[in-house]
A = this chain, B = another copy of it.
């Protein structure tokens, strides 16, 4: 994995292997409930203490039932959460009123089994749209989850598997840090192996910490990290009916230290890049750094336009140094790019200078594109702002996977 472009900081983060399971007080299980034919499809996460919960969810107008019901749970005055239920195999989206009833029933089942209120359960789903949730299987699956709940990496791995759809690998990330001589952890789990936007593949991420804090602090940390990570692998991070990122932390009074914010962003970035690397049919990772922009929104808009261009993605797959497609994508988004000022850098080598002057030969550029990890810098020559986006190539396997998703 490339060194991520984090700000330099003296604060030492300790990488851990257990993902969400590395966070003290978190118990997990992942089982096969029978929503899918054979694979694990139901995850349960519980918290020993009451948790604040912050959310960033899809802005799609067809929000799935679990998004809507969980939002109600979170919106209650002083709400705290104690558990998270997530299934794969069925998105419970476009399922009408029945869909919402089924989410409430799921939360009630989990609450009864755990001895907590139904409104203290966050529910998330991913899978096929338009199919109702098989409630009886969820009920039996939850019973088995409760029996298997445990701390640690093995359980976290099972839970990570249970939320996968076309993902090839489970996605876990965790970092420990020290604050006032105490050790804390931020850990997370995610699913998402689509090319994400513009393709509406569901992205789910759950991040927790054992550092107590105020609600506003958790909310800010989640929003900032999402803008710089999950939203930079997807246009607005808001396309699917089921997209959601939930963050959990115990209730506290103190403002979190910089080390927490760093660890949180790092967990989010690791999870986001794991999704990019697991892109459906992906053979390469592309990092697009836009520099010299007027402001950050302009930089982000251009970076995401390039990352999301099918022509850029297919050229990358074919290792074709067709830089015109990159520039055409930058221009198409109408972000105020100056056609006379841009230049390109490929893997730290000057590629195309102002005025379209090629500095690398076609053969040289092709050789750079043979690498697995490609970094393209787009210098706009307009100001000082920048942004980074990450994506993958578009291969024939992407089409194969998505042409027969349900079969």
Contact yes or no, B355 A324, CB < 8 A: no
Contact string against B for A residues 343-356, beta-carbon threshold 8 Å, 1 for contact and 0 otherwise: 00000000010111
Complexed CA–CA distance, A238 and B333 (Å): 10
Would you list which residues of chain A between 65 and 123 have a CB under 8 Å from chain B? 91, 93-99
The answer to the question of A190 belonging to the interface, with a C-beta cut-off of 8 Å to chain B, is: no
Contact yes or no, B405 A394, CB < 8 A: no
Contact yes or no, A402 B352, CB < 8 A: no
Closest beta carbon of chain B to A354's beta carbon, Å: 8
Closest beta carbon of chain B to A186's beta carbon, Å: 30
Contact string against B for A residues 193-206, beta-carbon threshold 8 Å, 1 for contact and 0 otherwise: 00100111100000
Complexed CA–CA distance, A407 and B240 (Å): 36
Complexed CA–CA distance, A327 and B337 (Å): 34
Instruction: Name A199's contact: one of B95, B97, B310 (CB within 8 Å).
Output: B310
Contact yes or no, B310 A352, CB < 8 A: no
Contact yes or no, A355 B402, CB < 8 A: no
The answer to the question of A128 belonging to the interface, with a C-beta cut-off of 8 Å to chain B, is: yes
Complexed CA–CA distance, A340 and B65 (Å): 12
The answer to the question of A323 belonging to the interface, with a C-beta cut-off of 8 Å to chain B, is: yes
Contact A314:B198 (CB < 8 A) given known A61-B334, A241-B331: no
Contact yes or no, A129 B328, CB < 8 A: yes
Chain B residues with CB under 8 Å of A195's CB are: 310
Chain B residues with CB under 8 Å of A399's CB are: 314, 317, 394-396, 398-399
Chain B residues with CB under 8 Å of A240's CB are: 328, 332
Complexed CA–CA distance, A162 and B405 (Å): 40
Chain B residues with CB under 8 Å of A318's CB are: 402-405, 407
Would you list which residues of chain A between 224 and 254 have a CB under 8 Å from chain B? 238-241
The answer to the question of A216 belonging to the interface, with a C-beta cut-off of 8 Å to chain B, is: no
Contact A403:B320 (CB < 8 A) given known A336-B61, A340-B96: yes
Complexed CA–CA distance, A260 and B9 (Å): 69
The answer to the question of A388 belonging to the interface, with a C-beta cut-off of 8 Å to chain B, is: no
Instruction: Name A310's contact: one of B60, B320, B336, B402 (CB within 8 Å).
Output: B402
Complexed CA–CA distance, A328 and B242 (Å): 10
Contact yes or no, B61 A405, CB < 8 A: no
Chain B residues with CB under 8 Å of A309's CB are: 198-200
Contact A402:B314 (CB < 8 A) given known A340-B96, A356-B96: yes
Complexed CA–CA distance, A240 and B329 (Å): 8
Instruction: Name A322's contact: one of B241, B400, B406 (CB within 8 Å).
Output: B406
Contact yes or no, B198 A325, CB < 8 A: no
Closest beta carbon of chain B to A326's beta carbon, Å: 9
Closest to A323 in B: B130
The residue among A128, A200, A405, A406 with the most chain B CB atoms within 10 A of its own CB is: A200
Closest beta carbon of chain B to A331's beta carbon, Å: 3
Contact yes or no, A94 B327, CB < 8 A: yes
The answer to the question of A154 belonging to the interface, with a C-beta cut-off of 8 Å to chain B, is: no
The answer to the question of A51 belonging to the interface, with a C-beta cut-off of 8 Å to chain B, is: no
Complexed CA–CA distance, A399 and B403 (Å): 13
Chain B residues with CB under 8 Å of A396's CB are: 396, 399-400
Q: Chain A residues in contact with chain B, CB under 8 A?
A: 59-63, 91, 93-99, 128-130, 195, 198-201, 238-241, 308-311, 314-315, 317-318, 320, 322-325, 327-332, 334-340, 352, 354-358, 394-396, 398-400, 402-407
Q: Which 3 A-B pairs have the closest CB atoms?
A: A129-B324, A318-B403, A62-B331
6 more A-B contacts (CB under 8 A) besides A129-B325, A395-B403? A60-B331, A200-B325, A238-B332, A241-B327, A318-B403, A396-B396
